A and B are shown apart, each in its own frame.
Chain A
């Protein structure tokens, strides 16, 4: 005989996907973007369970997590292991920001000798455990989606979470900053004022703010698709910049991104 268990009529509760935020070597700025979504924050938490977000909550729910946002680059042996653990407990892993997608500003060490850096900065180098390089997450584990920027753009973050919830691809352009700059109606600072601008080789997403504030883009969203850094660098030189300056221009917050790295190395060598 089958005994039918009397079912309690529980109010229908929909499953909320679990969100986790992890930090590696970084400035916290990208995860702060989530808290900076003042208008959307409560709506976000209505749709998604914040299960692990140490910047915002001491409540930690166990994994696996449906969506993990990973900020920061891998710079220590401990972190190189930790990211593999994070991957294991993450169904979807999205890296956020230049550190996580390109190694960040701290990847400038990759062009130098880190041992010298350690002794230069720390009075007691023996306490410092570090890798010789700062590398993007994707060099360590598979990544489902990369959200660029130093820092990431708030609306792009909301769009990414939104896309995750709808089960679609995030609408984040891979084209140049110039396109947004022109749509915004900013007069090109490079053509009209001869300022060095990384806009033509940098991925859009920031909203083309730098030229709108009368300065050249410094490439904080990293290389756009199909970059021609060589041509831009050549033009910089024709504008009167020194090789050294051109090298530094490419070696910034996304200096370790392959396209920018190659160009800065080309300028450094030749």
Chain B
């Protein structure tokens, strides 16, 4: 059976880390299984871990008044979920819910935070990788925000646009 260390070593997210750092990280990890519907994290809770999804799929979602629960993004095999543990104030901003049975390695962020403080090389290496995760999330969010498939403004009501001037008086 492969150890968590093997797993971390092979994962592209942790590529190029020194074996020492991999060992440290692996030391903070444990295997977990979530059934469909189980939460890996809840909005507002302390973010004390992050997850490497080994198999399955999780949804990052948020509860809204208008639309109920809205899935912001899904994350699956081989991907990372959770960046809140490394950025203050270390609280989850979204819910993370297993959409199907999901095997993940949970990494203890609280423990890693301490190690990063002591070993800035490790801290830098991880922060660099997580800023990548953040950047991807931002890009995806921006694209979603553009609503590129939506009906363009003015398309539906061709001439009603004139009404815009209404009330400018």
Q: B residues touching A (Cβ–Cβ < 8 Å)?
A: 158-160, 162-163, 165-169
Q: Please give, as numbers and ranges, the residues of chain A lying within 8 Å of B169 by CB-CB distance.
A: 135, 139-140
Complex Cα distance, B159 from A142, in Å, reads 10
Select which of A136, A140, A169 is within 8 A of B159 by beta carbon. A169
Are the C-beta atoms of B166 and A144 separated by less than 8 Å? no
Are the C-beta atoms of A138 and B159 separated by less than 8 Å? no
* Residue A145 is within 8 A (CB to CB) of chain B in the complex: yes
User: Whole-angstrom distance from the CB of A71 to the nearest CB of chain B?
Assistant: 17
Q: Please give, as numbers and ranges, the residues of chain A lying within 8 Å of B158 by CB-CB distance.
A: 169
Q: Please give, as numbers and ranges, the residues of chain A lying within 8 Å of B168 by CB-CB distance.
A: 139
Complex Cα distance, B162 from A145, in Å, reads 7
Complex Cα distance, B166 from A144, in Å, reads 12
Tell me the total A-B contact number using a CB cutoff of 8 A.
31
Are the C-beta atoms of A145 and B159 separated by less than 8 Å? yes
Nearest chain B residue, comparing its CB with the CB of A141: B166
User: Whole-angstrom distance from the CB of B119 to the nearest CB of chain A?
Assistant: 62
Closest 7 CB pairs of A and B: A142-B163, A145-B159, A139-B169, A138-B165, A143-B162, A169-B158, A142-B166
Nearest chain B residue, comparing its CB with the CB of A258: B165
Q: Please give, as numbers and ranges, the residues of chain A lying within 8 Å of B163 by CB-CB distance.
A: 138, 142-143
Are the C-beta atoms of B160 and A138 separated by less than 8 Å? no
Complex Cα distance, B157 from A142, in Å, reads 12
Nearest chain A residue, comparing its CB with the CB of B169: A139
Nearest chain A residue, comparing its CB with the CB of B168: A139
Q: Please give, as numbers and ranges, the residues of chain B lying within 8 Å of A141 by CB-CB distance.
A: 166
User: Whole-angstrom distance from the CB of A183 to the nearest CB of chain B?
Assistant: 25
Complex Cα distance, B163 from A139, in Å, reads 8
User: Whole-angstrom distance from the CB of A99 to the nearest CB of chain B?
Assistant: 16
* Residue A146 is within 8 A (CB to CB) of chain B in the complex: yes
Complex Cα distance, B159 from A169, in Å, reads 8
The interface residues of chain B, by DSSP majority, are classed as: loop
Are the C-beta atoms of A140 and B162 separated by less than 8 Å? no
Are the C-beta atoms of B160 and A140 separated by less than 8 Å? no
Q: Please give, as numbers and ranges, the residues of chain B lying within 8 Å of A142 by CB-CB distance.
A: 160, 162-163, 166
Tell me which residues from 100 to 142 in chain A have a Cβ below 8 Å from any Cβ of chain B: 135-136, 138-142
A-B contact pairs, 13 of them (CB 8 A): A138-B162, A138-B165, A139-B165, A139-B169, A141-B166, A142-B160, A142-B163, A143-B159, A144-B160, A145-B159, A145-B162, A146-B159, A146-B162
Nearest chain A residue, comparing its CB with the CB of B167: A139
Q: Please give, as numbers and ranges, the residues of chain B lying within 8 Å of A136 by CB-CB distance.
A: 165
Nearest chain A residue, comparing its CB with the CB of B163: A142
User: Whole-angstrom distance from the CB of A194 to the nearest CB of chain B?
Assistant: 36
Nearest chain A residue, comparing its CB with the CB of B159: A145
Complex Cα distance, B159 from A135, in Å, reads 20
User: Whole-angstrom distance from the CB of B153 to the nearest CB of chain A?
Assistant: 16
User: Whole-angstrom distance from the CB of B113 to the nearest CB of chain A?
Assistant: 57
User: Whole-angstrom distance from the CB of B166 to the nearest CB of chain A?
Assistant: 5
Q: Please give, as numbers and ranges, the residues of chain B lying within 8 Å of A138 by CB-CB distance.
A: 162-163, 165-166
Q: Please give, as numbers and ranges, the residues of chain A lying within 8 Å of B162 by CB-CB distance.
A: 138, 142-146
Complex Cα distance, B166 from A145, in Å, reads 13
User: Whole-angstrom distance from the CB of A149 to the nearest CB of chain B?
Assistant: 16
Q: Please give, as numbers and ranges, the residues of chain B lying within 8 Å of A140 by CB-CB distance.
A: 166, 169
Complex Cα distance, B163 from A102, in Å, reads 14
Complex Cα distance, B164 from A146, in Å, reads 13
Complex Cα distance, B156 from A169, in Å, reads 12
Are the C-beta atoms of B159 and A144 separated by less than 8 Å? yes
User: Whole-angstrom distance from the CB of B161 to the nearest CB of chain A?
Assistant: 10
